A = this chain, B = another copy of it.
Amino acid sequence: MDSATAREQALDAAEKLFYGRGVQSVGMDDLRGASGVSLKRLYQLFPAKEQLVEAYLERRDVRWRGLLAEAVARREDPRERILAVFDWLAEWFGEPDFRGCAWINAYGELGATSERVARQVRAHKRAFREYLGGLVADAGLPDALTGPLFLLAEGAMVTAGISGGAAPAAEAREAARLLLGRGRSSGRAGAG
């Protein structure tokens, strides 16, 4: 098995176990068992567990935002594209192994003790917010709408994670629709 494959398998196992059970309750030995990659190899690829966590969050960030962008790209109308974010959240929340936002969870678990993890989380949330900001600008809506939309999405993620079920996504979508309606009249596109 070459290095790239071993790395992917290690990250596959890390993602499955870290996301499902939390980081601290998963041992390096669990990762060896789930990935088929020996401990020796794991430590060659990632000098310490913390860096495996970092890599897990980073790879997931790329995929998560990629999937979101794909879903959004299927809509034409700029306003619809914003609402598509919440539709996509609803799909995500409905997945059988959904267990909340990986970054919010990781921050709650490790934010206070690992600066590297905290940085990953902040970077991910910043990227998501900027992506939303781009959708808002593309729709010619005031930039001030970005914050509220972002907060609705974050609230939906955290609530769906804690309470289970996809209902928060629908509530957030409806609220977003109302907010967009009010922001309609602005003629100053791309105000930022």
Report if A171 contacts B (CB, 8 A). yes
Closest to A129 in B: B159
Stretch at the interface among A4-12, A57-65, A100-108, A133-141: A100-108
Q: Which of B109, B122, B168 contacts A108 (CB 8 A)?
A: B109
| Further pairs besides A25-B113, A104-B108, A151-B155: 20, Cβ < 8 Å | A106-B108, A107-B108, A111-B162, A121-B162, A125-B162, A126-B163, A147-B167, A147-B174, A147-B175, A148-B175, A150-B155, A150-B159, A151-B172, A152-B155, A154-B154, A154-B159, A155-B155, A175-B175, A178-B179, A178-B182
Q: When the two chains form their complex, are residues B125 and A112 in contact, meaning their CB atoms are under 8 A apart?
A: no
- Enumerate chain A interface residues (CB-CB to B < 8 A): 20-22, 24-25, 99-100, 103-113, 118, 121-122, 125-126, 144, 147-148, 150-159, 161-163, 167-168, 171-172, 174-175, 178-179, 182
Cα–Cα, bound, A110→B105 (Å): 9
Contact assessment for A168 and B152 in the assembled complex, using a CB-CB cutoff below 8 Å? no
Contact of A163 among B113, B122, B171 (CB under 8 A): B122
Distance in angstroms from A183 CB to nearest chain B CB is 9
Give me 13 A-to-B residue pairs in the complex whose CB atoms sit less than 8 angstroms apart, sorted by A's number: A20-B112, A22-B113, A100-B111, A121-B162, A147-B174, A148-B172, A148-B178, A150-B155, A151-B168, A151-B175, A152-B175, A154-B155, A154-B158
> What are the nearest 6 A-B pairs in CB distance?
A108-B108, A151-B155, A148-B175, A155-B155, A147-B171, A154-B155
